[in-house]
Each structure stands twice: as structure tokens, then as C-alpha cells.
Amino acid sequence: MGRRTHVVLAAAAPALLLVLLRLHMAVAADPPFSCGAPSSAAFCDRRLPIEQRAGDLVSKLTLEEKISQLGDESPAVDRLGVPAYKWWSEALHGVANAGRGVHLDGPLRAATSFPQVILTAASFNPHLWYRIGQVIGTEARGVYNNGQAEGLTFWAPNINVFRDPRWGRGQETPGEDPTMTGKYAAVFVRGVQGYAISGAINSSDLEASACCKHFTAYDLENWKGVTRFAFDAKVTEQDLADTYNPPFKSCVEDGGASGIMCSYNRVNGVPTCADHNLLSKTARGDWSFNGYITSDCDAVAIIHDVQGYAKAPEDAVADVLKAGMDVNCGGYIQTHGVSAYQQGKITGEDIDRALRNLFAIRMRLGLFNGNPKYNRYGNIRADQVCKKEHQDLALQAAQDGIVLLKNDAGALPLSKSKVSSVAVIGPNGNNASLLLGNYFGPPCISVTPFQALQGYVKDATFVQGCNAAVCNVSNIGEAVHAASSADYVVLFMGLDQNQEREEVDRLELGLPGMQESLVNKVADAAKKPVILVLLCGGPVDVTFAKNNPKIGAIVWAGYPGQAGGIAIAQVLFGEHNPGEILFHPTLSNSWRLS
Ligand SMILES: *[C@@H]1O[C@H](CO)[C@@H](O)[C@H](O)[C@H]1NC(C)=O
Ligand SMILES: *[C@@H]1O[C@H](CO)[C@@H](O)[C@H](O)[C@H]1NC(C)=O
Ligand SMILES: *[C@@H]1O[C@H](CO)[C@@H](O)[C@H](O)[C@H]1NC(C)=O
């Protein structure tokens, strides 16, 4: 480039900058919102109470428009300037694209992926849980403000009590303890919704909306053909009050949750989404719940189609609206709502009550205050998503969740200077997607345990040993050979999403297939006692490994998220002590768990 052009360019710089800025802004689309243009409508008047604004908007809708809003994909009402809204987004352990509202396929293609909840819970650190909630709230706004979301209602946390260890979704929960699950729920929700970690909640504004799910007594997917859709949980009143409901009570009362999801199963014969006692009397009445109640996806349809509890589709619609449910994940109310009204099975007030709850949430999210970019939370930009502090927190969560189960004769930590070669063996050692569990979005980074260990030991080899966690096709000979040729051996075993997930429960708690035999033969062949790392959400019975002196250490690492591979390597090499928990100094004692 010559001198002359240089000068010309310098003179044109301000204009050029403007063009560049324009280009940059064009990348991010405007998020959907209402009340951008000056309006005399009361529902746009920010000075009025939310209830009044929601009531005003509902009073302006026709019957057909009203019914159209009662599904998770709510269409636009153009004549009132109301955009479409998608109620279903997921953020179990990071903003995910598992629902319908969030799209990580535009300028933003990833979000911070924290460990699966069962591991994070094992940190016993409510401040960490709160910070994760905060990051999710921030990244959710970042994605929304960047025009890549059509909703800000996230269907997390999953706080069902993990009572049956075979449950495929136990990995999503904080575990089997109702009190701890309740603490997790409260601080996570506070973080997501933009509240302080404790103390009075003095604003109804929502950074993002969290949802306590699945209300209630749900911990079965499919056990020998008994499915969650048909299951009728027989629960005593005492068990409901002592075990299944305390996390929901805490989620609502202490967390100030703005959403609840009723579950698929029945409780003592009544579908939870059709249970007035549960939704209206207990949640809205006893716990003062102020928010919206959604069904699990297609949970209204199954009340008729699977459970036969409702004789006609219109009866199912009436059952849930009269019980206090507000929005149906799925199109069942949208399809059968008008006829339910025409048949006199639901009243205008049944419909309006639900709609007021729904629009109140959208208003609390600030979506009826003009362009959210110029409102509270409007300054949260795309650069907040996957930023370093968030990724560091994902690493901390993995480090602090990991549990040391056995460490005989000082097998751990390993010393970088002493380990000249390592054989990494097992189906879970080099599988990036396995680290994320379920309900995840694309992570900011992806490093498997084997890749992370390669950063510590130059001479590192990987042998899978069997086809996958199912381990019904093995190559134990190759694994044994690798084990006998290396200085140290680290085995990565456990479960994967084919063994435990939504719709899949386990039948027993042992390691699947030939895993046990693989571990024992490798341990026999190795020069020194081996290290066994378990990647799984639900518990596995490893009594054999506990009792085998050739297995020097056992580490449980759950499904540790995007930084899990790195965290495991750090723990194995003593750079992080998983027994050390860092509490936030300002945290009051009441938030500590002993
Ligand atoms: C609301 O609560 C926050 C933190 O709990 C506090 O900092 C703030 O001063 C409170 N605002 C009002 C108006 O009470
Ligand atoms: C990797 O993990 C995923 C998720 O759990 C699983 O579906 C897949 O089968 C695993 N692949 C192998 C080769 O183990
Ligand atoms: C291994 O198990 C999977 C899942 O159950 C099954 O689909 C496959 O056929 C099995 N393979 C063999 C060789 O048994």
C-alpha cells in the first residue's frame, strides 16, 4: 500500500468506522420485544403494576388469539405488536440449545458448559451453585440481546429427589437429599433470575426466568416397560411433605422461582398437571408462588391419550386449566382449547387467569418495555458468553465436584517428573460429548481426559478397551498389552448416555458389560496399582475395585462438563485437591452445609 492511499484512508477513517460499526451491528439481529413505538395502551405503561398491564393485554385478545397463546410456541399477535414467544428453553448446566427458544447457530455458537448437576452438587458449595446460576442468567441475556433467542424462560433446575439410584435422569439433579436439593434450587434460581444470593427479593424484574421441575414425585423413566407417562406414584402425605416437595417449596419460597413445571406421572391417581391441590392450593396458596406453571412436553395430551384420566381431549384441557396450569408444552390446548370453551368445559376466566400469569412473566422479563437493548440487562452483549471468568468457573465446578473415593499407599497424586509414560485405558477416556451429560449446548471448549493428560505426560497412549460404556465388544488383549508396557495406568470407566438418560433407567448398579473384567485384567498386568476414574451420573457399585489392592485409587468425576478433562488431569497430578472446598467469605453460615 502506497503513501497516498494511506493518507486518503486516514481522512476517510470516521466514515469507515461508521460503516464498520454498522456492519458489526448487522451481525446481531434485534431481539423480539413489544411496545417499541409510542403507545397509549395500558399494557405498555411501565408505571402501572405488572398485573394490571397483563390484565389489559389479555382483555384486548380475541378467543382464538387467547387459545393460541397457551402452547409453548406462542404465535405473534401482530395487530397489538406482540411478537411470537417460545417458552421452552433449557439451561440445566449452562445455556443449552436443547429446547426451542435458543439458537446457537448464529454469530454465537457455544455457551459455557458446566458439569452435570450431580457433580456440581458434590462440591457442597452453595456459592458456587449461585455463581453458576448467575452466569447462566448473564449468558442467556447475551444470547437474547444478540438476537439468537425467542424466549428467556429456562426449564431448569431439575430438583426431583434422586430416590431410586437406577433413575436415568438422576444425573440432572443435586441428589437424594431433600434439604440439599432445596438449597441448590434456591441459590441457582436466585442466580439465574438476577437476585441476590440471600435476603429479601425486592424486585419482580427477571434477568432470566428459572423453572422448578418436575412437580412432583418423579424419578422413573422406563423400568421394564413401566413408563413415566403411565406411572402412578403412590405417595403418602408424609412422604410428599418430607421427601418430594421440600425442594419445590424451597425453590419457590427461598428462590423466588418464576416457573414451575408439572410432571408426566400421576400422584395417587391424579396427573400432577391436573392436580388443583398441588398447583393451586400448595404452590400458589401455601407457598405464595408467583409465576407461571407449564406442563412437561405433551403432558396434557397423555392425560387423555395414555392415562385415560380424561375421557375427551377437551376434558384434559379443562382439568389442567382448572387445576392452575398456565401453558402446555405442545399444541394440545391450542388444538382443543376453543372446543373446550364452546362445550362449556372451560370458562373465559379459566383462560384469562392462565394468560395473565404468562404475560406477567414476559413483562417481568422486560419484553414489553421497548427494545431490551436499551433497558435493564440491555448492556449484556455477546462477549459475555463464554468469557474467561465463566469458563474458569466451569473449571472450578469440575475440580470441586470431583470426589476421591479410594487412595491406598499414596497412589495419588501423580508427580509430573516421575511419570514417564501413561496408558489411558477405557471407553470413557477420550469421548468429548460424554463429558457433557445431557441437556447441554455446544461448549466453549472441548478437551477429553486423554487430551488433557497428554499435556502432562509426553508418552501417553490411549486404548479404548471396549466399544463404549456398554462394553459388549471388547479388546482386552490390546488394553492389557498397553498396561504392561506403561509406567502408569489410568482407567476411564463408568456409564454414558446409552446407559442412563431420559427414557432410559438402569436395571442394576454394576459397571456395564465387560468393564469389570477389563479393569481387573488391566490392573493385574500393570506395573503399579492403577488409577480408576469413574465417569457417570448415577451411582455404580465398585465394591470389586475397592477390595482389589491392584487398584490404588478411585476417583468419581460425574459428567464434568467442558473443563472436566482438564480438571481430572489437575486432580490426578495434585494441582487441585478435591477435598478442599472454598466458601465465599461473605457467605452467612446458614448457607453452608456441614
Ligand atoms: C433490594 O435488595 C438488594 C440486595 O438484596 C439491596 O442491595 C437493595 O438495596 C434493595 N433495594 C431496596 C429498594 O430495598
Ligand atoms: C460417547 O459418549 C456419548 C454420550 O454419552 C455416547 O452416546 C457414545 O456412545 C460414546 N461413544 C463411545 C465411542 O463410547
Ligand atoms: C451391544 O449392545 C448394544 C446396545 O444394547 C446392542 O445394540 C448391540 O447389538 C450389542 N452388540 C453385541 C455384539 O452384542
Question: What is the Å distance from ligand 1's center to 155 Cα?
Answer: 27
Ligand nearest to the Cα of 507, by number = 3
- Two domains, one topology: 42-383 and 395-591: no
Active site residues: 296
Q: Can you tell me which atom of ligand 1 is nearest the CA of 202?
A: 1
**pLDDT over threshold 90, residue 372:** no
Kindly state the percentage of the chain with pLDDT values over 70.
Answer: 93
| Span 270-319, pLDDT tens digits | 999 999 999 999 999 999 999 999 999 999 999 999 999 999 999 999 99
So what's the pLDDT on residue 195? 98
So what's the pLDDT on residue 592? 38
Q: Which residues pair with 233 in a beta bridge?
A: 267
| Total length of the chain | 594
So what's the pLDDT on residue 96? 98
So what's the pLDDT on residue 186? 98
**pLDDT over threshold 60, residue 5:** no
Q: Can you tell me which atom of ligand 2 is nearest the CA of 427?
A: 14
Domain ranges of the chain: 42-383, 395-591
3-state SS class at 216:
coil
Instruction: State pTM to two decimals.
Output: 0.93
For ligand 3, is residue 470 a contact (CB within 6 Å)? Answer: yes
Tell me which residue of 416, 461, 417 sits closest to 572, measured CA to CA. 416
Please report which confidence band the pLDDT of residue 11 belongs to, taking 50, 70 and 90 as the band edges.
Answer: very low
pLDDT, average across residues 555-569: 98
pLDDT, average across residues 48-63: 98
So what's the pLDDT on residue 4? 36
Q: What is the dihedral angle through the alpha carbons of 433, 438, 444, 449, rounded to the nearest 10 degrees? A: -40
Amino acid, single-letter form, for residue 463: V
| Span 468-519, pLDDT tens digits | 999 999 999 999 999 999 999 999 999 999 999 999 999 999 999 999 999 9
Q: How far, in Å, CA of 454 to CA of 228, rounded?
A: 43
Please report which confidence band the pLDDT of residue 171 belongs to, taking 50, 70 and 90 as the band edges.
Answer: very high
Low-confidence winner among 136-145, 192-201, 212-221, 582-591 (lowest mean pLDDT): 582-591
So what's the pLDDT on residue 28? 66
Q: Which residues lie below 8 Å from residue 358, measured CB to CB, with a gap of 6+?
A: 69, 70, 74, 87, 292, 326, 327
**pLDDT over threshold 80, residue 25:** no
Tell me the range of 11-25, 501-515, 575-589 where mean pLDDT is highest: 501-515
Q: Can you tell me which atom of ligand 1 is nearest the CA of 203?
A: 1
So what's the pLDDT on residue 306? 98
CATH class of the 395-591 domain in this structure: alpha beta
**pLDDT over threshold 80, residue 539:** yes
For ligand 2, is residue 472 a contact (CB within 6 Å)? Answer: no
CATH class of the 42-383 domain in this structure: alpha beta
Tell me which residue of 350, 279, 371, 362 sits closest to 50, measured CA to CA. 362
Question: What is the Å distance from ligand 3's center to 467 Cα?
Answer: 10
Mutation probe of ligand 3 site: the residue of 466, 467, 470 with most atoms within 8 A of C-beta? 470
| Span 198-257, pLDDT tens digits | 999 999 999 999 999 999 999 999 999 999 999 999 999 999 999 999 999 999 999 999
For ligand 3, is residue 504 a contact (CB within 6 Å)? Answer: no
Tell me which residue of 15, 58, 115, 74 sits closest to 437, measured CA to CA. 115
Question: What is the Å distance from ligand 3's center to 472 Cα?
Answer: 6
Core vs surface per residue 508-517: b (16+ CB within 10 A) or e: eeebbbbbbe
Q: Which residues lie below 8 Å from residue 471, measured CB to CB, with a gap of 6+?
A: 427, 465, 511, 512, 513, 514, 515, 518
The pLDDT mean for the chain works out to 93
3-state secondary structure 120-167: HHCCCCHHHHHHHHHHHHHHHHHHHHCCCECCCEECCCECCCCCCCCC
Q: How far, in Å, CA of 550 to CA of 482, rounded?
A: 16
Q: Can you tell me which atom of ligand 2 is nearest the CA of 496?
A: 5
Q: Give the count of beta carbons closer than 10 Å to the beta carbon of residue 126.
A: 24
Low-confidence winner among 37-41, 61-65, 134-138, 559-563 (lowest mean pLDDT): 37-41
So what's the pLDDT on residue 563? 98
**pLDDT over threshold 50, residue 394:** yes
So what's the pLDDT on residue 1? 34
